Structure 1
Amino acid sequence: MLNMDFAQSLTLSYDPDRWQPSPAAGVWRYPLEREAAESGHVTSLVRFQPGSVFAEHEHPLGEEFWVLEGTFSDENGDHEAGSYVRHPPGSRHRAFSRTGCVIFVKLNQFDESDSELKAIREAQGLWLTGEHGFRRLSLHRYGGVNTSLLEFADGGRFPACCYRAGLEILVLQGQLSDGKQTLGPLSWLRLAPMSVPELNAIGHTRLWVRTGHLASSMPVNQTG
């Protein structure tokens, strides 16, 4: 297991040396949290080299991903950078990329009753501007769990209301400071419920954000 104690807050700066080959030729993975080698709860970055294919596989408890670079493809179509896609529990697909891509993917983390198939392109979404100096695009909501994009045009403090039930962030662009270090693109944070850190965006910053998903998570002993 890797980083599966959800009562532990984690801050992982991006390190390009952490990429690992997957069982599929030309497909590389950057693990962030993982229950087992090829099954169970997984959060990772995945990189497809041009022309690479990942064989048909099932998502027992769903799959969702955000396309960071390039174009990801499957039987449902082509998903360009800036796309958010959800495949419900029990779904299957064959994944590939003609020109190469990088995605942020979460596997087997859905509520069993969350059966919505969804594909959203950022450019077509409805951004809402808040009073705290950032704008927000909602990607998905279900059972108290919220997934969204946050964009700070010129820096600002991350809203403290989002911490109570757990918080997960992937830095997409710009920089995020936690008071101890400054985190650049592809850095990942997972903050345990009731954590109250002070997070501040520096300059033009964009974040993938999830809240509410750790409130009922039971700690799992990490074995390495």
Structure 2
Amino acid sequence: MNVNADFSRRAVVVPDQYQWVASPQSGVERMMLDRVGEEDARATSLVRYAPASHFPPHQHPGGEEILVLSGTFSEGDRHYPAGWYLRNPPGSAHRPSSAEGALLFVKLRQMTPGEAHPIRIDTRDPAAWTRASGRDICPLFSNESEQVVLERLAPASPLSTAPVGGAEFLVLDGDLSVDGRPFIRGSWMRWPVGDHPDVVAGANGATLYLKTCHLPAEAKGALPC
């Protein structure tokens, strides 16, 4: 299965395009943002857990990245309410569930083999944020292959002033304009190396998840991060 699988092109999904698809586990649905492969896929998705739903224990050979958007997500006896960011490295295992229901942003099989340590960050903790380049940033992860942050933009402020080696964002709050097109909360966009969209926060500002420099090696080209 291929969904937005051409990493040399822009990909955009806005909330009125959402199409929820049942997963193999009852009570868990997915909105596929990009995907290469069948059930064991390189994938970026929104994942919706109904109350009292769960997956059986399983491994993630290529790792799993999770941002809890609403509700509470659980791994065994560990519980993560909205705002928590999790990275489960390649080869890790867990039993995910949600007693009250949850909405997650999930990326599968997109980590480098060298990642070995789980990461847990409460992005609603003010201590997790820093002020840099005139904006508020919550660093989540960085290595030679990708940089991941949450970023708060003031009203009418631009996202970036220079091209990077591929990027994607998910609007968590507020709204953006991308080349004049509005992107409301829940909108997702990925653009390739060499592309440089004009991204500006709306009148109320915006908070977004932002990942850069992470496209598959065959799509990167020569532009460094």
Cα distance in 2 between the residues matched to 1:99 and 1:209:
27
SS at match of 1:113: coil
Correspondence list, 1:52-131, <5 A: 52-75=53-76, 77-124=78-125, 125-131=127-133
Amino acid at match of 1:118: I
CA distance in 2, matches of 1:24, 1:89: 22
Q: Normalized against structure 2, the TM-score is what?
A: 0.91
Q: Report which stretch shifted further, 72-81 or 93-102.
A: 72-81
**Mapped partners of 2:197, 2:68: distance in 1:** 28
Is 1:165 aligned to 2:138, yes or no? no
Amino acid at match of 2:93: R
1:197 paired to 2:197: yes
Cα deviation per residue 1:29-71 (whole Å; 9 max; x = unaligned)?
0001111221120100000011011122211110010000010
What is the alpha-carbon root mean square deviation over aligned residues?
1.6
Distance of 1:155 and 1:82 partners within structure 2: 24
Deviations 1:148-170 (A, max 9, x none): 00002333111123x32011100
Counterpart CA distance in 1 for 2:177 and 2:81 is 29
Cα distance between partner residues in 2 of 1:217 and 1:142: 19
Preserved contact between residue 6 and residue 218 of structure 1 (Cα < 8 Å): yes
1:152 lines up with 2:153 in the alignment: yes
Higher RCO, 1 vs 2 (CA within 8 Å, ≥6 residues apart): 1
State the aligned residue count. Answer: 217
Residue 17 of structure 1: how far off its partner (Å):
4.5
Shift of 1:76: 6.1
The residue number in structure 2 matching 1:135 is 136
Secondary structure, aligned partner of 2:176: strand
- Aligned counterparts of 1:43 and 1:27: Cα–Cα separation in 2: 15
Any conservation in 2 of the 1:193–1:215 contact (CA below 8 Å)?
A: no
- How far 1:142 moved relative to its partner? 1.4
Task: Report if the CA contact (8 A) 2:18-2:31 is conserved.
Answer: no
Q: Structure 1: how far apart are the matches of 2:145 and 2:38?
A: 29
CA distance in 1, matches of 2:15, 2:102: 17
Where in structure 1 are there 5+ consecutive unaligned residues? 220-224
